Amino acid sequence: MEKFKTLEGIAAPMPLINIDTDMLIPKQFLKTIKRTGLGENLFFEMRYDKNGNEIKDFILNREHYSKSSIIIGGANFGCGSSREHAPWALKDFGIKCIISTSFADIFFNNCFKNGILPIIVTEDIHKNLLLDADSEKTSHMEIDLESQKIIRSNGDQIDFAVDKFKKYCLINGLDDIGLTLKNSDKIIEFEKDYSDKFSWA
């Protein structure tokens, strides 16, 4: 998993409340177990019309926001079914951070496991960040995970909280498999010892 320390990029304003996982990646795209290629279908029903043409007014189809790496989302972001394809699609599109006032629990945890930083902020801070993102002139911001700060285009710094262990995993690029492999020496030792003791098994 890619290490996450600092992120500089454009923030896209998406204040819609209850953006669920089916909106993020519809069910017809869940057949694959690959984590790549899903970004093209992120927000599929909002990005494309019935003929497969891009809907120009959709925020991520606008030229300035088409390379966004941050989303300022509405409350209860990621609700609905617990499909891991949702963070896969976001990451494949290029989204590495989502800022909201609240997240669905399973989606929140899946983000960390897939290298995406979800940040919870207060209503007032959220309102200011949405205003920043809504203007091309102020939509660029920086996320410093090590110091736990959101740095706005005007230089203002906003502190945010993050679980210590989840922060450690993101900074070091460790998903569940990576964490397990950190103990590979102990695993090999156990397997050898087990094989010696139960060679008949």
Per-residue pLDDT tens digits for 48-85: 999 999 999 999 999 999 999 999 999 999 999 888 99
Q: pLDDT digits over 14-31, tens only?
A: 999 999 999 999 998 888
Q: Mean pLDDT, to the nearest integer, of 180-184?
A: 60
pLDDT of residue 178: 63
* Residue with tokens 């995406």, as numbered in its chain: 116
pTM for the model: 0.88
CA dist., res. 82 & res. 79, Å (int):
8
Query: Which tokens sit at 128?
Result: 């200011």
CA atoms within 13 A on the CB side of 45: 11
Q: How confident is the model at residue 190 (pLDDT cuts 50, 70, 90)?
A: low
Residue 173, pLDDT above cutoff 60? yes
Show the DSSP H helices in 66-122 as ranges.
Answer: 85-93, 105-113
Residue spans per domain, the chain:
6-173
Fold that domain 6-173 belongs to in CATH: Aconitase; domain 4 (3.20.19)
Q: How confident is the model at residue 33 (pLDDT cuts 50, 70, 90)?
A: confident
DSSP 3-state of 161 = coil
* Residue 95 and residue 38 in contact, taking contact as beta carbons nearer than 8 Å: no
